[in-house]
Structure formats: structure tokens, C-alpha cells
């Protein structure tokens, strides 16, 4: 029966002991090649996957009966590969426990699935990024803040929120034009990205307002970070030759906080910075 089905059929113990005619043709082997073939020579897998396959092969040869289904890259003799749906089980053949493998070429299906996933990943990335500044947008920020609050509640973690905006940004647009204003926003976003920690989350909140979720630091550390960013902006030479200044509001997560309450406190701190002369850092605990 195995000689008359359009699927790859393989029997193995320590080495391959049988390939049906369809398998020999599909993989490019001859009957004389079989005796020297390790079953793992027929798949292209990472090291951790290989260790699992070795363990399961030993279990089959030892007489343990169980079925498995994989989708893995299958290797031909010439080194080419294709995606195979692999059904593996234990059989009793010629008075010995033996591994049976049946492989069907599913390359077309897998490639379609991979392309679809790639499209989904690209769409997800686009939907979470701000078009102008290429940083996280408001939607992405809202999701991350909710996650940070959940983590803080469950793991007793701490984080701080830094809210800042560009002082007198309307004047920049009115005086130099919206194109110059867009350039300032884009350069500012790049500058901040280069000067925050890897585990900090930076987003455009709307218009000329930005947010930094600063993980694992309290309000003191967040104020220091905000002051560092303020100075970087003040001394940066923007390409438009515009003197850009920013005001910062800082607060830290409290156990009773919701997303709305912590944003409200950060906004209050930012308002305080504006009231006290702009181009400064203020905090609200």
C-alpha cells in the first residue's frame, strides 16, 4: 500500500530502514543511500527542535506508542527544502518497535499562511505607529499604559509617567509654517528616542504632546530623566534653526491609579510647569 500512495513514507530505527518509491523520487535518494541516513538528516530544524525529535525517536524505538503531527522543513538530498506536514507514530515492524513517518508537501499552504502573517504584522506595526514621528501613537500608548498598570498591580512593580509638550508650538507653526513645525516634531521624537532607556516606552499623545512610560523607577528618577531630556532639547541644534523648548510634568504610579487618574496627575504637573514659566520640570505625587 505504501508503494502506491502519493505521500512520503519512511520507517526508521537508529537509521532509516525504508523509504517508499514516492519518497525516493521526491527527496532524490536511491535505495543504496538509505542505510547511511539518519532520520534527522531529512529535516531542517533548530537545535532545540532537534533535541525534542531525538527524544521522541528514542521513545518510539523503546516501544512507547504515541502519535504526533508537525509542520517542518524537509530536506532533499541536494539540499533543497520544502514545508512538510509530518505525521509520526510507533509501529511494530519485523518484530521490532519502529518509527513510522508520513510526510505531505504543504509548501503552498504554509507560504500563504506565512505571507498572511507577515501582512498582519506589517499592518499591526503601521496601526501602532504615528505617521509623522515614527514612534508609538495614542492607541499604542493607551494599550501599553493599561498593561503597565496591570503589571504594577499584579507584580508590585513601579513605573512613572512623563508628559511633555513643546512650548509655544502654535507660534512656531504661525511664524515658520506647518512644514517647519512637522520637522521639529520629527526631530524631537528622534532626539528623545536616543536619550531614554531601552525599556522606557515613548509615544506621541497628540499634537505636540508626548508621553514616556518610565519603567522600574519612582518619581525621583523620572524627574531626573525629564530634566535630562529638557536640557537635551534646549541645547539641540534643530535643522530649522528654531529654538525649541519643552515643559515636563512627572508623576508616579499609585496602587489606586487608573489610566485616567495617572494621566490627569501628569497633566496637572505639566500645567504647573507652564504656569511657573515653561521650559521646566514639575511633578505631582
With a cut of 80, say whether residue 265 has pLDDT above it: yes
The predicted structure's pLDDT at residue 124: 62
- Tell me which residue range forms the domain holding 194: 122-283
Of 66, 244, 26, 124, whose CA–CA distance to 55 is shortest?
Answer: 66
Per DSSP, the chain holds a count of helices (H) and strands (E) of 8, 11
* CA separation, residue 151 to residues 43, 101, 137, 237, 258 (Å): 40, 45, 21, 38, 13
- State whether 96 and 154 are in the same domain: no
Cell for 27?
A: 527527496
pLDDT (average), residues 85-114: 91
With a cut of 90, say whether residue 159 has pLDDT above it: yes
Exactly one of 47, 68, 119, 208 is catalytic; which is it? Answer: 208
With a cut of 80, say whether residue 122 has pLDDT above it: no
Whether the CB-CB separation of 57 and 70 falls below 8 Å is answered with no
- State whether 78 and 138 are in the same domain: no
Domain endpoint, select from 65, 82, 109: 109
pLDDT (average), residues 48-60: 90
pLDDT band of 120, cuts 50, 70, 90 = low
With a cut of 90, say whether residue 212 has pLDDT above it: yes
With a cut of 70, say whether residue 126 has pLDDT above it: no
CA distance 182 to 207: 10
Mean per-residue pLDDT over the chain, rounded: 91
- State whether 63 and 197 are in the same domain: no
Lowest mean pLDDT among 87-96, 122-131, 191-200, 254-263: 122-131
125 assigned to active site:
no
Whether the CB-CB separation of 32 and 118 falls below 8 Å is answered with no
Q: Which residue has the cell 505571507?
A: 115
Domain endpoint, select from 61, 88, 109: 109
Residue 116 resides in a domain: no
DSSP strands (E only) in the chain: 8-12, 16-19, 43-44, 68-75, 81-93, 96-105, 159-166, 201-206, 209-215, 246-252, 281-283
CA distance 84 to 15: 20
- State whether 48 and 132 are in the same domain: no
Whether the CB-CB separation of 149 and 258 falls below 8 Å is answered with yes
The predicted structure's pLDDT at residue 156: 85
pLDDT (average), residues 161-178: 93
Residue 114 resides in a domain: no
Residue with the bigger pLDDT between 113 and 199: it is 199
Percentage of residues in the chain having pLDDT higher than 90: 71
CA distance 103 to 8: 5
pTM: 0.60
The predicted structure's pLDDT at residue 189: 95
- State whether 127 and 268 are in the same domain: yes
Amino acid at each position: 500500500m505504501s508503494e502506491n500512495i502519493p505521500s512520503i513514507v519512511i520507517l526508521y530505527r537508529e537509521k532509516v530502514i525504508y523509504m517508499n518509491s514516492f519518497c525516493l523520487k521526491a527527496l532524490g535518494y536511491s535505495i543504496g543511500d538509505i542505510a547511511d541516513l539518519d532520520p534527522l538528516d531529512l529535516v531542517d530544524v533548530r537545535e532545540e527542535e532537534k533535541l525534542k525529535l531525538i527524544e521522541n525517536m528514542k521513545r518510539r524505538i523503546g516501544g512507547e506508542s504515541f502519535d504526533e503531527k508537525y509542520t517542518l522543513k524537509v530536506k532533499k538530498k541536494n539540499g533543497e527544502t520544502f514545508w512538510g506536514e509530518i505525521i509520526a507514530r510507533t509501529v511494530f515492524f519485523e518484530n521490532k518497535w519502529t518509527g513510522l513517518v508520513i510526510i505531505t508537501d504543504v509548501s503552498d499552504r504554509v507560504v500563504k499562511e506565512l505571507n498572511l502573517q507577515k501582512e498582519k504584522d506589517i499592518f499591526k506595526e503601521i496601526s501602532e505607529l504615528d505617521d509623522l514621528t515614527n514612534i508609538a501613537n495614542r492607541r499604542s500608548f493607551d494599550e501599553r499604559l493599561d498593561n503597565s498598570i496591570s503589571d504594577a498591580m499584579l507584580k508590585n512593580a513601579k513605573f512613572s509617567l512623563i508628559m511633555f509638550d513643546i512650548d509655544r508650538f502654535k507660534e512656531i507653526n504661525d511664524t515658520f509654517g506647518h512644514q517647519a513645525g512637522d520637522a521639529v516634531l520629527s526631530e524631537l521624537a528622534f532626539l528623545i528616542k536616543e536619550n531614554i532607556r531601552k525599556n522606557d516606552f515613548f509615544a506621541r499623545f497628540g499634537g505636540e504632546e508626548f508621553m514616556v512610560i518610565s519603567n522600574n523607577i519612582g518619581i525621583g528618577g523620572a524627574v531626573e530623566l525629564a530634566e535630562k531630556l529638557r536640557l537635551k532639547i534646549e541645547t539641540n541644534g534643530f535643522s530649522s534653526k528654531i529654538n525649541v523648548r519643552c515643559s515636563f510634568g512627572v508623576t508616579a504610579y499609585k496602587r489606586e491609579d487608573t489610566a485616567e487618574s495617572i494621566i490627569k496627575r501628569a497633566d496637572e504637573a505639566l500645567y504647573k510647569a507652564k504656569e511657573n514659566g515653561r521650559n521646566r520640570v514639575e511633578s505631582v505625587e
